[in-house]
């Protein structure tokens, strides 16, 4: 009787606590009806058995925190309870600086799976790849850990070491990687010229300022010389802030829908549209993606693909098409809860499907085939110089740079080649139009 009365007492306390703590309209208790009494009784019974019978005494607040973590873990890989440290880490990530290994991770089948390493991080330097599975952190098996627990272990003071045991698809045996924690400064955006007239913008992560940063990079390239084509590189970009992805896609669109979301809450059904001006003036655009391109990256790629604004090239993206909302519980704790799904302008759900490239190009090690040495006109003694001066030398320099790009990044090489082809066709179309109208 004493045990039963204790269970009922705890059940009453728990029911009252739940009714007081439910942050309406988040849980929408009124719409769901009364809480199931039998399941609450079972929960209270299990809770009480742990309190009185577990080999080590655990205080009530810790037990309830475990219960919250387990409840969210059972939903999907991205809904988590954010403790004080995890909440602070999340805030740091959106601003672009934190201390750790430089990994974007998720849970899959009880293990921590790498979504993508962050550019310039210890993880990227060690060669960790999207799709790798972390089996052990030091000597501690990851199986059975929560995502927050694994992240807490991976985080640590700058300069401290940690050893990861990695399982990689296609490898017969796990292997170990030793990493030194460092301050991760995520350079969200950087730009450069691939060749005269052909620009490159790399977006490593979508932070609060990413839209503005991409706009600055685009303007910088366009003021330096005529922009004939542009590569937008979203490979191994794990995503980030939704608004930033809308801003980036909108830079290359003349209005229209970028993405819309659908969920159960009233404020979950949202449409995000681009501004009415294409900041790139319609410059031919290739978007590079791979299996490490997730969430906000897939929004950008999907929008530009659906709107016919860009050619998407690379490999199939990660397929994270869900919206997580941060719901603060206090100044130091919060819940990250999946509240909606993303859809591209044509109504494609990204979730567990990802973005299929228009042109599939696998990452590969490519070496240019070299013929045996041959003699050309330029090698003959007393040959006449080219009437155009040193244009031949410039051509040889260009070929050398192209071969180096082919060897180092064949996907980027193919993107550049496609842009050149589009530019040649565009020039011919313009020339044909001028001849047809008698323009000069």
Write the pLDDT tens digit of every residue in 244-294.
Answer: 999 999 999 999 999 999 999 888 999 999 998 999 999 999 999 999 999
178 catalytic per annotation = no
Length of the chain counted residue by residue: 440
Of 78, 81, 95, 71, the C-alpha closest to 324 is 78
Radius of gyration of the chain (CA): 27
Of 61, 76, 10, 111, the C-alpha closest to 336 is 76
> 169 has which bridge partners?
none
What are phi and psi for residue 169, nearest 5 degrees? Answer: -55, 130
CA angle 249, 293, 339 (to 5 degrees): 75
Secondary structure E strands in 198-281:
198-203, 229-233, 257-263, 270-273
State the DSSP H helix or E strand holding residue 391, giving kind and residue range, or none if neither: helix 391-408
What are phi and psi for residue 114, nearest 5 degrees? Answer: -80, 120
Dihedral (C-alpha) 327, 329, 334, 338: value to the nearest 10 degrees?
-30
| Structural domains of the chain, with CATH | 2-58 (no CATH), 82-95+97-184 (2.30.42.10), 189-360 (3.90.226.10)
What are phi and psi for residue 362, nearest 5 degrees? Answer: -75, 145
Q: Tokens standing for 402?
A: 């192209």
Confidence tier at 320 by pLDDT (50, 70, 90) = very high
DSSP state, residue 24: T
Of 78, 82, 104, the C-alpha closest to 93 is 104
> Minimum mean pLDDT among 130-134, 264-268, 402-406: which range?
402-406
**Residue 430: pLDDT above 80?**
no
- Summarize pLDDT for 352-362 with one digit per residue, the tens: 999 999 999 99
User: Can you tell me which residue has the tokens 């590969």?
Assistant: 364
> 185 has which bridge partners?
97
**Residue 179: pLDDT above 80?**
yes
Among the options 297, 306, 322, 336, which is catalytic?
306
**Residue 4: pLDDT above 90?**
no
Distance CA 88, CA 94 (A): 10
Dihedral (C-alpha) 22, 26, 31, 36: value to the nearest 10 degrees?
-40
- Is residue 345 within 8 Å of residue 316, measured between CB atoms? no
Handedness of CA 7, 9, 15, 20 (dihedral sign): negative
- Summarize pLDDT for 87-100 with one digit per residue, the tens: 777 766 655 567 88
Confidence tier at 195 by pLDDT (50, 70, 90) = very high
Q: Tokens standing for 155?
A: 């985080």
- Is residue 308 within 8 Å of residue 249, measured between CB atoms? no
What are phi and psi for residue 221, nearest 5 degrees? Answer: -65, -45
- Summarize pLDDT for 102-130 with one digit per residue, the tens: 998 888 888 899 988 888 899 999 999 98
320 catalytic per annotation = yes
**Residue 214: pLDDT above 70?**
yes
Among the options 188, 320, 322, 336, which is catalytic?
320
Distance CA 320, CA 265 (A): 20
- Summarize pLDDT for 325-359 with one digit per residue, the tens: 989 988 888 999 999 999 999 999 999 999 999 99
- Is residue 246 within 8 Å of residue 259, measured between CB atoms? yes
Dihedral (C-alpha) 315, 318, 323, 328: value to the nearest 10 degrees?
-130
306 catalytic per annotation = yes
User: Can you tell me which residue has the tokens 């742990």?
Assistant: 50
Distance CA 426, CA 440 (A): 17
CA angle 102, 190, 250 (to 5 degrees): 105
Give me the mean pLDDT over the 11-38 stretch.
Answer: 54
- Its pTM stands at 0.77
**Residue 296: pLDDT above 90?**
yes
Distance CA 247, CA 329 (A): 29
Of 180, 162, 182, 65, the C-alpha closest to 112 is 162
Exposed / middle / buried, residue 268 (Cβ in 10 Å: 0-12, 13-18, 19+): middle
Among the options 79, 245, 280, 295, which is catalytic?
295
Give me the mean pLDDT over the 57-81 stretch.
Answer: 92
């Amino acid at each position: 009787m004493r045990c039963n009365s204790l269970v009922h007492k705890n059940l009453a306390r728990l029911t009252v606590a739940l009714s007081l703590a439910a942050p309406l309209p988040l849980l929408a208790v009124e719409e769901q009806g009364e809480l199931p009494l039998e399941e609450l009784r079972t929960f209270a019974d299990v809770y009480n058995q742990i309190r009185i019978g577990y080999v080590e005494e655990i205080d009530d607040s810790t037990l309830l925190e475990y219960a919250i973590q387990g409840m969210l873990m059972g939903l999907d890989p991205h809904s988590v309870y954010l403790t004080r440290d995890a909440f602070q880490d999340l805030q740091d990530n959106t601003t672009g600086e934190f201390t750790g290994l430089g990994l974007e991770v998720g849970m899959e089948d009880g293990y921590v799976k790498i979504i993508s390493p962050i550019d310039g991080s210890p993880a990227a330097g060690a060669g960790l790849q999207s799709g790798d599975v972390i089996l052990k952190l030091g000597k501690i098996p990851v199986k059975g850990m929560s995502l927050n627990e694994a992240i807490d272990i991976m985080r640590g003071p700058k300069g401290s070491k940690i050893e990861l045991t990695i399982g990689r698809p296609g490898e017969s045996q796990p292997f170990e990687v030793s990493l030194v924690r460092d301050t991760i400064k995520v350079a969200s955006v950087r730009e450069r010229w691939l060749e005269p007239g052909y620009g490159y913008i790399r977006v490593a992560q979508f932070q609060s300022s990413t839209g503005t940063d991409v706009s600055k990079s685009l303007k910088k390239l366009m003021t330096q010389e005529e922009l004939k084509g542009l590569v937008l590189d979203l490979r191994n970009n794990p995503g980030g802030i939704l608004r930033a992805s809308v801003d980036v896609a909108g830079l290359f669109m003349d209005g229209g829908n970028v993405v819309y979301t659908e969920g159960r809450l009233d404020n979950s059904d949202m449409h995000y549209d681009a501004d009415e001006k294409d900041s790139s003036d319609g410059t031919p655009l290739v978007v590079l993606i791979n299996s490490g391109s997730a969430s906000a990256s897939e929004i950008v790629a999907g929008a530009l693909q659906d709107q016919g604004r860009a050619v998407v090239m690379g490999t199939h993206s990660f397929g994270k098409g869900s919206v997580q909302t941060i719901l603060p519980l206090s100044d130091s704790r919060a819940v990250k809860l999946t509240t909606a799904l993303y859809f591209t302008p044509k109504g494609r759900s990204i979730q567990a499907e990802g973005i299929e490239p228009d042109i599939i190009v696998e990452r590969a090690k490519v070496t240019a085939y070299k013929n045996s040495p041959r003699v050309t006109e330029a090698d003959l003694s007393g040959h006449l110089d080219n009437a155009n001066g040193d244009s031949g030398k410039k051509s040889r320099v260009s070929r050398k740079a192209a071969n180096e790009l082919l060897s180092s990044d064949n996907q980027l090489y193919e993107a550049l080649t496609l842009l050149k082809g589009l530019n040649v066709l565009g020039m011919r179309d313009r020339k044909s139009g001028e001849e047809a109208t008698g323009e000069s």
